[in-house]
Amino acid sequence: MTQPAAISAQQRNQLRRTFRKDLKAPVAIRLFTREPSPIAIPGRDCPTCEQTRQLVEEVSDASPKITLNVHDFFGESVLAGEMGITRIPALILGEDKPARIKFYGAPLGYQMAAIVETIRFMSRGVSPLRNDTRRKLRNLTSPVHMQVIVSPEEQSGAETAFTAFAMACESDKLSVEAVQIRDFPSLARTLGVNGLPMVLINDLHRSAGRVSEEKLIEQILAAGGNPSDQGMSSAR
């Protein structure tokens, strides 16, 4: 039976027009999921994998400049480990290994807008960040890992995730994963999520609620930046 489209015809047409106008260079996407199985296998549940795959395939079909590779998380466990994938569904933007821009969970609602905007700026090569932010990111001296915990209904979470993805494109010292926490309730309990969006940086800095670009770069510098840049940031 044919599955109904995940994206409406109007949205698909708008997406095609946007990509046709804005995409310049190719963008690679990987999706780690699980293959459908007629039997339930303990420990391999993924209620949103099928929905996520359909959604991502429809987005990638909107432009020939988007290349999508789909992988079975359990059947390609070595590759999953090399890419740093720990749960599914997992969407990777870019070709870094291990991946530095990841989205865990179904990218629904505002979160799909963040994915689309990230694809746009990655293809165009035009950063949405301030020049001062970009300069500081290029001077990172130590690896920094950022988690952005979001939900489909939170526009501020999508904005924070988009900003974090843009930052990861500026420095190979920074890796970012956005987590659609509704798909991972046990992770929410482990992390003690009590407000969305929530940002975790190197497990040292935690903030809940909308985080500005300026605040994010301050936290990143505190975790792995050049001391002189940290001082300049604090002085303002």
C-alpha span between 208 and 188 (Å, rounded): 13
φ/ψ (deg, to 5) at 31 = -125, 120
pLDDT, one tens digit for every residue, the chain (236 residues): 456 788 999 999 999 999 999 999 999 999 999 987 666 676 788 999 999 999 999 999 999 999 999 999 999 999 999 999 999 999 999 999 999 999 999 999 999 999 999 999 999 999 999 999 999 998 899 999 999 999 999 999 999 999 999 999 999 999 999 999 999 999 999 999 988 999 999 987 889 888 899 999 999 999 886 655 544 444 44
pTM, full prediction: 0.91
For 226, the token pair is 């050049």
Angle between helices 227-235 and 213-224 (to 10 degrees): 140
CA dihedral 105, 111, 112, 113 (to 10 degrees): -170
Total residues belonging to the chain: 236
Q: Which residues contact 75 (CB under 8 A, 6 or more apart)?
A: 35
Domains, the chain, ranges and CATH? 1-119 (3.40.30.10), 127-236 (3.40.30.10)
- Give just the sign of the alpha carbon dihedral 23, 136, 143, 235: negative
CA dihedral 6, 11, 15, 18 (to 10 degrees): -160
Cβ(86)–Cβ(114) under 8 Å? no
